[in-house]
Every structure is written in C-alpha cells, then in structure tokens.
Structure 1
Amino acid sequence: MSEIEHLLREDLRGQTAYGAPQLDVPVQLNTNENAYPIPEDVAAVVAEFIGRELRGLNRYPDRDALALRGDLAAYLGHGLTADNVWAANGSNEILQQLLQAFGGPGRAVLGFMPSYSMHPLLARGTGTAFVDAGREADYTLTPGHVRWAIEAHDPDLVFLVSPNNPTGTALDAAVVEAAYEAARGIVVIDEAYAEFARDRASTALGLLEGRKRLVVTRTMSKAFAFAGARVGYLAADPELVEKLLLVRLPYHLSSITQAAARGALACATRLQSEVDELKHQRDRIVKNLRAKGLPVADSDANFVLVGGLRDAAAVWRAVLDEGVLIRDVGLPGRLRITAGNEEETASLLAAFDTVLERRPELFDSASEQRSASEQQQEQNQ
C-alpha cells in the first residue's frame, strides 16, 4: 500500500473512479448523450443570454439561482414555483446534496439494482450505506417488492429511477405511491430521461402535492442536449428545498451556467422536436433488433437494452471493430445502446448484421432468439 493510499479513507481504498470508455470512433452510442448538437437558432439565443452576463463576471452569481429556478418551474408545470425547485451542476450534484443533507454516516439509502451506477458511488462518497434490494427476474419493480424492501431495511432515503437506466423501463405510479407510504424518509424519483417516455404523463411530478418527503430529480443533459453545460435540478416541497441550502457550496452554479440554461429553457419547444426524432430512432432500433431475433425490451428512455448475447463483452468488441461504440453495463448477456441520429442508427444496425453473420456463436441460437423476441412482443400487446 502506497503512502497516499494508506492516508485515504478506508472505504475508498482499492476503488476505481467512475467512467465510461471514451474512444475516438465514428459512431458513439454509449453514454446516452443527445445525438443532435444545439441547433443554430437555439445556440444564438443561448449566446444572447450568456452575453448579458459577461461584463458582470467580476461579481458572484445569484447564489440561489432564483431566475433559473423560476424558469425550470414554468417548464415543469404542475403548479410548481421557484420555491419548489433547486438546481445544481448536473443531477449528480443534486443527488449528492440530497445524500449530504439526509444521508451520511450511520444512515442508509435503498436502491434497486441494476439501476443508475452512480447511486452507490454517490452514497459511498457521502458516507451513506447503500443497500441493494434487487429487482424481479425481468428487471421490473412491483409495489409489493418495493414495500417489502423498505419495511425490511428501514432506509433514510429511497432511490427509484424512471425510466430506469440501463433497462429503459418506466415505473407505474403505484410503485411510487407504495414506496412513499412505506418509507419514513426521503423518496427520490430519478427522472433523468422523463422527456423520452412514451407516456409523458407518467412522471411523478403529479404526485408531489401533499407529499413533503417526495423528490423528483431531472437533468438538462439529455432532452436539452446540454450535457456539456452540467445542469440538473429537482422539484420538491419548499421546506425540503430550503434544507439543501445547508449543504450547497457558496455560489455553486456559475452565472454562465445559469444564463445558458435559461436560454435553452426559452427554446424548450424547439428542442422537443429533436427528442421526438430520438424516440423514433430508439423505436427503430427496437424493431430492427427484434427482427434479427434479439430480445429487446420496450424503452421509455433514449437507449435500449438488448439481450440474447452469449458473450456480451465479445459482441461489444465486435461491434466496436465495426466503428460503433455501445455500452457494456455488466449485465450477463446484455448491452445498452444509445439512440443516435438516423445515420448513426443505420451504422449500428449494419454493425449488428455484420457481427451476426460473421460471429453467430456469440449469440443465442436463432430459434432461442426468435422465441424470446416473440414472447416479449406478446407481453407488450
């Protein structure tokens, strides 16, 4: 053990930092980014908002980001106001602040893996114990399972993800309600991909009223194509929002970030057209991979989870050799694929055609693939 390793917190020793492979390949479909760059007309609006702030950069930003929070509340609707909203540098910082305020040493957060891989890492970073209650064999969650897990573990926080990453599945409102009724602590619904849901009304925002311990987190990284700007936010009861000010860093959200986000929000309707196109490409991937005999669950996110792989790591490498980068999320027999633009989708499907033809031993037999695919489609009817 090195001198520095010896001085590190014991629970961090031997750990590796989070990160997806960043490789220079023609088609990158591995980190769930929005495939479309900011349109020129939107970029002009964002630049105008930023320009208004440039000469005032000698002053600290609005510490509480009130104007941005008001714009976010207007975007979300559901009768929310700025007092219901909090913003930070990406939804990861939002989740970290929730853990700092309501978790910490001697406290626990309950999650349901496989789900967003940052949840246990954020818990560890804040000294909060992470408890994994697992999922059903098909990766779904039922109200009964969630209620049982909360009653069995009595966590201080509960993390639920809808649509879930990496499965792409959305939660039924009954699951959220069961979690809230069973929990004594904070219930967080991570809705990073909510704008891509087939039913936009499936959001938990409509459940916030009267539920003071319920939190809905969002991000501008996906639907707003704003991953590089790092803007995340939450909606909750005003008292809960107020408590987060106890742990936020002073002036944590820069004037430039706030201005850029407000410019993008002013163009929200324009940006939704790109969301609709990504949903189309997502469904195109699902349809085509199923036609090849591969089981793919219906997705409410901007990615899909494909199965039927005897050797997921080898398929990942073979697809990469065709110039397409997708994500190995560590689930046996499965890989995650981000929905790209029309050309990227064509390249992805062509890559799978090539690998299926050249390396059939990497996949389940054709009959097994068709059987699984047909069963999935029957369940969805």
Structure 2
Amino acid sequence: MIYISILIVIVAVGVYVYLQRPQFDAPSVEEQSYQGKYYQGQFHNVNEVPVTTSDDNFFVGLYKFLTDKTQDAKPAAELPSQKTDLLGLDPNENIVVWMGHSSYFMQLDGQRYLIDPVFSDSASPVPGTNTAFAGSNVYHAKDIPEIDYLLITHDHWDHLDYPTLEALRDKVAQVVTPIGVGSYLTQWGYTNDTIFERDWFEVFNAHQSTDIYVLPAQHFSGRMLQRNQTLWGSFAIVTPNHKVYFGGDSGYGPHFKQINEQLGGFDLAILETGQYSKNWPFIHMMPEETAQAAEDLEAQAVLPSHNSKFRLSNHSWYEPLDRLSEASRDKPYRLLTPLIGQSVRLDDEGQVFNAWWQPLKSE
C-alpha cells in the first residue's frame, strides 16, 4: 500500500511540474464590457450558442472520441507536399502558402504575414496525442523569413503553439490578436509594444494604407478546462489593391454577411472546413456552410482551412475536401486546393489545382 501511495505522489508531483511549463500560462484580461460580449467572467458569442449539443460529459465524450472507429480518420500514407522556399521568394510577389491545418504564410503588397503558425508535431496539452499526419508538418521556424505581421485568431492549441512562437519571436515585428490572446505572448517574451490586441471591428492601421481588421467569429476559447477567458476572432487584411479574409475557427452565422456589408467583397477568403461534428454544429462549419459563408462574403476565391493535419473529429481526413468540392460546384467563387506548401499566386486567376487527396483515399 505504501508503494502505491509513493507512486501517486510521484505522479502528482510530475503532473504539477509539467503544468508549470509556459504552454500552460494563464491569460490576463482587463474586465470590461467589450461591446457586451464579456460578462459573468468570460466572453460570449453575440448569438449565444452551445459548444456542444451532446449530453455526454467531458470524460465520456473524450472516451467515445478515442475509441471511435471512423474509417480513414488518418491518412494511410504520407501526405504529399510542395515546399515553397519562403526565404528565396521575391518580396514583391503576392502569394499565400498553406502550411497545413490553419497555418498560412502570405506576402501581400510587399508585406509578410504569418497566421496561426503551428510547427510542432502535436497540438495538445497531453504529450504524444493529436499528432500531425505524416507528411503534413513540413515547415519549421528556420524556414520562415522576417515577418511584418503575426496574426493569431484564438488560443486553442492547434492555433496558438508555444514552441513555434518562441522560435519565431525574434523574426516578428508586430502581432495582432483578439482581446487576451496577446497576454500569452507577453508572458512568452514578446514585448508589449509589439502586441496589438483589440475587439471585433477594431482596426490596426498598418504599412502604407494597409488595414488589419479584427473581426467576429462564432467559436470559443480555452487551453485547459477553463473556457472563454480570451476572445476569438477572424481577420481581414485590406490594402489599396487587395482584400483577404482569414476566418479562423467559426460556426456559420450572420457575422459573415455583416463583415461583407462593412468591408465589401474579398479577393480571397480562407475558411475552415474540417473537424466538424453533429455534436458541435454551432462552433464549426459543415462544408456546405463553408460554401454559403463564401457567398455571404462575396469571395472571388476560397481556400479551405482546418483540415489535413490533425484529427480533431470523427470524419475521414479527406471528407471535408470532398464535400466542399461538391458544394462549390457552380458557385461564383474559385475553389483553391493547393498541396501543403504550394504557392497560391493571388494575382493569377488562371492558376489551377488538382484534387490531390483523391489518389490517397482507400478503396
């Protein structure tokens, strides 16, 4: 019995020590209304929606997810990629590079942007879980040039990655985040004067008439058990020549039309499609809703996000791309499906991409 007690103490001490790592730092938010979204000690969506519609508690839900037998939940083979040499790019070339899941590099009108970079092999507080699919994690901090603007949509582990941000710190000139997310970065060594942390529909006046808007999303936040201590959001980058929208994580809602009404149509909308479930229909979009959101935004082109790197839900890894491709037939926008690492030329409307995932599907 004494040995069991000693083992329990050792495990407890080990867990306590592990939880002191910077990844588990708590955010800091000044309590105020934030346009009516902050009350009862946390942020809320404008249209109050549940995170899940399931009656299962957290532990039952986790058990069901871990024991689920979804066919092709992970790729059977290594995913293909086409790794663009970011360090060797012409800085005046307007391109977007998808780095898998929700991570993007962009050059736009002479400025470099990095959105939700996650270069770790896993995106979870528990080591060895939620590991990246083979072939999906091809970029690392050493591959990234100097960044003018780092944008973080929210604090979930698959969007806010401490090892990545620590490695990038000396390469980043300016950070733009929703309320509270910047407080993680200041604890991780970023200086206050490099952090622009704002509410929805507030704008950072960037370089040469470029505006970066912090915009709504219908989602939630939290890195451990306590939720909604920081705000979640999306971004629009508006220059004299381009408009690009990064949707982050979001369920479908009226905010897409609202964003369009304020900022007009977009040259490109990067929208989530993946990690959806019938149990959380309000905080992630089904692919058909992604297609509708693209129309609401009056996007000329759509780049699907939040897929093909991590398994966070119980659908096949390729289903989001299949369903969005079908839902995008005869739509007024171009659907762009590059390989991980492949350059998307923003000014080339004739650039064509193949359904690269099709040959990798099991029979």
Whether the TM-score (by the shorter chain) exceeds 0.5 is no
Which structure is larger by alpha-carbon Rg, 1 or 2?
A: 1
More helix by share: 1
TM-score, normalised by the number of residues in structure 1:
0.28
Q: Which has the higher strand share?
A: 2
TM-score, normalised on structure 2? 0.29
